[in-house]
A and B are shown apart, each in its own frame.
Chain A
Amino acid sequence: MLAKRSVIRITVNGRSVEVLCDPGSSLLEVLRDHLQLTGTKEGCRSGDCGVCTVNVDGKAVCSCIYLAMQADGKRILTVEGLASGDELHPLQKAFIKNGVAQCGFCTPGMLMSAKALFNENVDPSDDKIKEALGGNLCRCSSYQRIVKSVREAAAEVARK
């Protein structure tokens, strides 16, 4: 029995889009399959690993277990939306400078959790950084470089 498809209207990275999707679609599926925004990754499909983290109205959310229908009317930010035109976000610059990405699979999720942290806290302590990124796993063990990068990016954001 095919589910009746519905239209959702979301703002993704500043652009308003309309998507026709299955009501049971996750936000992750819509971002990757309908909008070709493949920066957000699929990992565990159960909200445990954090690679699918995006920002919904400024808050970190696991898109794999978040219904696309729930996103209707909300503002979504994905890793593709971090840069301003050609100018990389301080987080992205710091991640590159510190060589964070080994396999790179956790990286978008880490960036988005850090971005959500910055939305609430412009001067996070290392403990706060670790807490904010607690829901993002990295199997290549770049954790120390990640915390260092977030710390440096926070300082740069504060300077602006």
Chain B
Amino acid sequence: MVDLKSKGLPCNRLISLDRVQDRILKSIIFKGRKLTIGSAVQIRTIESSPTILKRAPILAEVARTFATIQVRNVATVGGNLCRASPAADFAPALLALHAKVNVKSSQSERTIPMRYFFLGPGQNVLKPRELVVTITADLPRKHGGAFMKYTSRSPHDLASASAATVIERDRSGKNVQNATIALGAVAPTPIIAVKASKFLEGKTLDDDTGTKASELAVKESSPITDARASLEYRKKITALVVRRVLQAAWERS
């Protein structure tokens, strides 16, 4: 819509999904540990959903700092992902949750893991006439999640750098069993920092390991200089947001 109205993008056919009858598009369903979010669920709904707040609070955390209230009332999760901005707010959290995108066309259905969904800035893997129906994630039984974005002025801005992480502790509770760190706005697409994530396995989270993990994450990023921040500054704030989300997720886990 912004491209249409603000940049005058030419458009021969515009299709709205507003009237599609299938209720799954607007549903938030928890079945056991499996979360299903319809692609047409508004950000504002995610922000205030009691079940999301209870079972997947990282997504409510993303929704709370997503653009402005006016935008949240209309924008959808599916829209955020399909737009495929490298800074897409929901991408890092959904990557950290190892979410999957369920796609339908008149001919076929397929499921795409989040980490294969983005091809480049503004580019996703959808083929013509494919529709994102739902996003699903298997939530770990006991986990802590956190999302943080760094912006020039206010949360309404696009992220200069963002990070999300989901941490599960091992049985002793002292060490990380699994951690996934995902980054936004510091690569051509949202990415998982694989080495940084793996580094934390079997270790406790403290200043030392947290700092090392955030440094590894920065190495896996490939930020650019643009209107919002310089390359060098992005590296610095990537380290900062990774360190902060790790700490927050650890405390919540």
Contact = CB atoms under 8 A, between A and B. Distances in A.
A53 B70 contact: yes
A66 interface: yes
A23 interface: yes
A119 to B, nearest CB: 12
B156 interface: yes
A47 B69 contact: no
A106 interface: no
Nearest to A26: B5
Interface stretch (A97-105, A130-138, A140-148): A130-138
Interface residues of B, number: 21
A2 B6 CA distance: 20
Given A65-B1, A65-B2, A135 B70 contact: yes
B49 interface: no
Contacts of B227: none
User: Chain B: interface secondary structure?
Assistant: loop
A60 interface: yes
Contact of A61 (B6, B67, B74): B74
Given A23-B14, A24-B14, A60-B73, A45 B6 contact: yes
A69 B4 CA distance: 15
A7 B11 CA distance: 20
Interface in A23-42: 23-24, 26
Contacts of A91: none
Contacts of B73: 56, 59-61
A64 interface: yes
Given A24-B14, A70-B16, A46 B71 contact: no
A1 interface: yes
Interface in A46-79: 46-47, 50, 53, 56, 59-62, 64-67, 69-70
B26 to A, nearest CB: 14
A45 to B, nearest CB: 4
Interface centre among A47, A50, A69 (most CB of B within 10 A): A47
Contacts of A66: 1, 74
Interface in B47-94: 67-71, 73-74
A67 B1 contact: yes
Contacts of B6: 44-46, 65
Nearest to A112: B70
Contacts of B74: 61-62, 65-66
A116 B68 CA distance: 13
A109 to B, nearest CB: 9
A59 B48 CA distance: 14
Nearest to A67: B16
B21 interface: no
Contacts of A60: 69-70, 73
Given A24-B14, A62-B70, A70-B16, 7 more contacts: A23-B14, A24-B4, A26-B1, A44-B6, A47-B71, A65-B5, A113-B69
Interface of B: 1-2, 4-6, 11-12, 14, 16, 18, 44, 67-71, 73-74, 154-156
Interface of A: 1, 23-24, 26, 44-47, 50, 53, 56, 59-62, 64-67, 69-70, 113, 116, 131-132, 134-135
29 contacts: A23-B14, A24-B11, A26-B5, A45-B6, A46-B2, A46-B5, A46-B6, A47-B1, A47-B2, A47-B67, A47-B68, A47-B71, A56-B73, A59-B73, A61-B74, A65-B1, A65-B2, A65-B5, A65-B74, A66-B1, A67-B14, A69-B16, A70-B18, A113-B69, A131-B69, A134-B68, A134-B155, A134-B156, A135-B67
